[in-house]
Structure 1
């Protein structure tokens, strides 16, 4: 069985190899327009900033309390808020971090500022920074004023919508319903207000539609769509067609459900097709009104994927979207999904899209970074197996080229450069290029970000150390210890790893990796002479791999797992072979019951 399974995999990967090579030679690369004249998120960021200044700074001047003691600090803080409160891809578009803006707002508040716009802005940022306890009183205090005062309705909407999303309130259905109803009313008021002009509609579609409404449940968004449709006569035509069409795409899939195609009923297929057609009409109407805006075209990609635009492929609408804005992220995300085999695409087409994005050379945007997203998609498609993905030819070269391009980009901060180079080292580790990986980590020194090894399925506690162990002067001695382990000389292998760990104790990742290898060899030695081996995971889950669920330890050191979407899966990485006896004790608890139910079970497997 094992041999046959291996043959099947080899054959599939051989086909994949051929497909990628053929496509790579087909001349697809370069189709995405990427010249200096294209519109990017940088231009959108400038418009965001101008709109935000009107919302925050002009409104601050027109309303609310002012005091010479904190007026200058408040204006500076709201200027910082205007530069960070936007949805754009990457630097240089974002010039001020959330943390920097929050620090400026805190300075104004500490100086005595109690202006609701300043307090509300601080609450919004604290939410984004996941300090929900600090966010709630700030949002509540500013909301009390926005409900009564003559402030722009968008401030009221942001505040009440973010308040409804707070973890402590999100699951209190009665409270949340009142807040969402208030948010819906505020959104309609904002959309129909003369505060915004025709040129603002694209940005408020994001500032309201994506920032707030998309975070709501389907039923809440349906209530919004009903109110929004009722107000059609007072809403900008592009905005109406885009947001209503956007919702109808979700409505269509709700009718279809996520069931396998053969389980979808004829009535469900009928509603799916009819609703998707209406969505298509609205989105096409929006695109015709403003073809220079990418939103409607990007939303038509999944519509085309489902076959609702028979004369236009997903790529057709992708091209229309990136012509409007080169680095419009939703367009790339939607096309990546449409290129998966389940929708008629292929692994080869997925890789080709990533190569095409790297080939644009626009490392001042996140478009070349699509190659890394494609890698993640391939891992997902191939059974969450990073090992199988490494068999795809041209993949390493495309990813390495991407990292090299970002390393030379002038728009990245030093921290972003270090993250990029750490990921590049992780890439080399994943593809077995230990010398390159070790060299990069040694050059980074203390700036290396080991957590980035997770991007390629690596354990940050072990993988960086393996890069050091299999490169440089220590590589030969590590290989000799590996040979002892492979030959079943477990005690000698453990001693060899321990000796190396002592000799290189000053290089912490290397010493940790070698110590873990020594421990693995010692466990195998005990196992093969018939002694029981304790494999209870330690606090850092050394020798274990978490696959599904959330895993931790209680105060007694016992392992605790919680299912995510009903899945719980963790596996020991030590290869004890096929024949072993496993004993353990497990408690199965239902934390959702009242009172909680717990069942204890002794486990013995052979």
Structure 2
């Protein structure tokens, strides 16, 4: 991982920040819809947007950026601002919670069309069209709506290919754009599209380690698509052939990426995924796991891959999974959410019991480990760990710990109903809590 105190890294970050200022605030000054009535809040919001894009992920006051941008962009809208980039920010951060997904998606589409017609930089057009496609798709638009999704998603693709050719752009911004694009196209990325993307990356950014990590990561995913996630006896002969071929390509690309930059924990994690498929030996898995965790001691995702590797379905056993989960819970070196891996181990093992018609969660030895790891996590991280309250509540429900669940429900913050199976399922869970606790009075 890059040292933020390294002078070269500091210079790289500052150059990236200035580039974002030019293509955000500078673009507004060049082609934006300006007026003395709203210029001040719009410019301040766009300056924060540029800062957030570069520094937000590591800044302790990250949440305050969103709050400040929201306040400024709402003030600009109230003053009559009709600039499309400001509208894009409003759609992202400023809309009231009561706005429907369909109406919000239409705001994104309107912003994308406006940013396109006004002549903003390709990177700003790209993100506007990509977010419009995402929101229109999420709003579950049918028929005419699908044509709009196609329009914005294909335009985003073309703009990303164009942007890759901009050698003045910071490498990190190119990487982020490519990864965002591919995430949207996940599962639908046809070979010809991928080949065009890879060719553009190698032609313009072939000296960057992340390009080979990108290639390796996606060939690993293509390999698993060919194989499927079922047991070995469900895989066709052709599936095995493609699986093996694509994992070999992935391994070569990832090893090249590691050779170019042996300080990237994501490359080590990707190579763990390759070993999961190739199954050449536990020592190989442990080598890449050790490298990943030395570079990022809070690397939950690396621990999750190791846990999968240790499943009975792959290369381990239930005992090995629980041993590793307990190691994560005890560790004084590994932090953040890593100690919660023991809960994921129980979640994975419960799926095996479901196939055998058993109720894993009724085992009295399960809940104490889950309770212990979550209570320690919340005691240590407080509000920072708010997002994990949903997980804890769901585990309490599975284990029928009604008093714990009643205590946790008010602590969830904004409820993600989909996490619990939908709003009706969530309300049913709340009713069950009251029913069971009333019976025990």
Query: C-alpha separation between the residues in 1 aligned to 2:314 and 2:56?
Result: 29
Of 347, 358, 371 in structure 1, the residue corresponding to residue 318 of structure 2 is 347
What's the TM-score once normalised by structure 1's chain length?
0.57
Q: Which residue of 2 aligns with 1:466?
A: 436
1:38/1:180 Cα in 2 relative to 1: closer, same or farther (>3 Å)?
closer
1:63 maps onto 2:27 in alignment: yes
Residues 125-182 of structure 1: CA deviation (Å, up to 9, x unaligned): 5899895333334333433354356644332222222222313558766654443332
Aligned residues: 417
What's the TM-score once normalised by structure 2's chain length?
0.75
Q: Which residue of 1 aligns with 2:242?
A: 271
Query: C-alpha separation between the residues in 2 aligned to 1:381 and 1:126?
Result: 45
Q: Which residue of 2 aligns with 1:288?
A: 259
TM-aligned CA deviation for residue 240 of structure 1: 2.2
1:416/1:89 Cα in 2 relative to 1: closer, same or farther (>3 Å)?
farther
Instruction: Please tell me the root mean square deviation across aligned C-alpha atoms, in Å.
Output: 4.5
Query: C-alpha separation between the residues in 2 aligned to 1:289 and 1:408?
Result: 40
Q: Which residue of 2 aligns with 1:233?
A: 203
Q: Which residue of 1 aligns with 2:123?
A: 154
Of 263, 287, 302 in structure 1, the residue corresponding to residue 273 of structure 2 is 302
1:389/1:431 Cα in 2 relative to 1: closer, same or farther (>3 Å)?
closer
Q: Do the aligned partners of 2:273 and 2:305 also contact (CA within 8 Å) in 1?
A: yes
Of 376, 401, 418 in structure 1, the residue corresponding to residue 372 of structure 2 is 401
Q: Do the aligned partners of 2:297 and 2:333 also contact (CA within 8 Å) in 1?
A: no
Alignment of 1:169-180 (within 5 A): 176-180=149-153
Q: Which residue of 1 aligns with 2:224?
A: 253
1:184 maps onto 2:157 in alignment: yes
1:426/1:264 Cα in 2 relative to 1: closer, same or farther (>3 Å)?
closer
Q: Do the aligned partners of 1:298 and 1:317 also contact (CA within 8 Å) in 2?
A: yes
TM-aligned CA deviation for residue 296 of structure 1: 1.9
TM-aligned CA deviation for residue 238 of structure 1: 1.7
What 5-or-longer segments of structure 2 have no aligned partner? Answer: 5-9
Query: C-alpha separation between the residues in 1 aligned to 2:26 and 2:303?
Result: 41
Q: Which residue of 2 aligns with 1:529?
A: none
Q: Which residue of 1 aligns with 2:305?
A: 334
Q: Do the aligned partners of 1:301 and 1:317 also contact (CA within 8 Å) in 2?
A: yes
Query: C-alpha separation between the residues in 2 aligned to 1:81 and 1:354?
Result: 39
Q: Which residue of 2 aligns with 1:500?
A: none
1:142/1:437 Cα in 2 relative to 1: closer, same or farther (>3 Å)?
closer
Q: Which residue of 2 aligns with 1:122?
A: 90
Q: Do the aligned partners of 1:83 and 1:96 also contact (CA within 8 Å) in 2?
A: no
Q: Which residue of 2 aligns with 1:389?
A: 361
Q: Which residue of 1 aligns with 2:133?
A: 164
Q: Do the aligned partners of 2:129 and 2:156 also contact (CA within 8 Å) in 1?
A: yes
Alignment of 1:380-529 (within 5 A): 380-383=351-354, 387-391=359-363, 393=365, 395-410=366-381, 412=383, 416=386, 420=389, 437=404, 441=407, 459-467=429-437, 469-470=439-440, 474=441
Q: Which residue of 2 aligns with 1:144?
A: 113
Give 1 or 2 for the bigger CA radius of gyration. 1
Q: Do the aligned partners of 1:105 and 1:118 also contact (CA within 8 Å) in 2?
A: yes
2:155 aligned counterpart, secondary structure: helix
Q: Do the aligned partners of 1:39 and 1:324 also contact (CA within 8 Å) in 2?
A: no
TM-aligned CA deviation for residue 277 of structure 1: 0.2
Residues 433-472 of structure 1: CA deviation (Å, up to 9, x unaligned): 67x749x83xx896688989969x99221125534653xx
1:406/1:269 Cα in 2 relative to 1: closer, same or farther (>3 Å)?
closer
1:108 maps onto 2:76 in alignment: yes
Of 66, 72, 78 in structure 1, the residue corresponding to residue 46 of structure 2 is 78
1:72/1:259 Cα in 2 relative to 1: closer, same or farther (>3 Å)?
same
Query: C-alpha separation between the residues in 1 aligned to 2:359 and 2:11?
Result: 44
2:86 aligned counterpart, secondary structure: helix
1:262 maps onto 2:233 in alignment: yes
Residues 74-123 of structure 1: CA deviation (Å, up to 9, x unaligned): 24433554577699999957424867744543332222333333222333
2:354 aligned counterpart, secondary structure: coil
TM-aligned CA deviation for residue 375 of structure 1: 3.4
Residues 276-326 of structure 1: CA deviation (Å, up to 9, x unaligned): 101111112112222222222222222111116558533432332232223
Q: Do the aligned partners of 2:293 and 2:302 also contact (CA within 8 Å) in 1?
A: yes
Higher relative contact order (CA 8 A, sep 6+): 1
1:220 aligned counterpart, secondary structure: coil
TM-aligned CA deviation for residue 364 of structure 1: 7.1
Query: C-alpha separation between the residues in 1 aligned to 2:108 and 2:92?
Result: 7
Q: Which residue of 1 aligns with 2:7?
A: none
Query: C-alpha separation between the residues in 2 aligned to 1:79 and 1:460?
Result: 44
Query: C-alpha separation between the residues in 2 aligned to 1:72 and 1:292?
Result: 42
1:368 aligned counterpart, secondary structure: helix
Higher strand residue share: 1
TM-aligned CA deviation for residue 234 of structure 1: 0.8
1:47/1:405 Cα in 2 relative to 1: closer, same or farther (>3 Å)?
farther
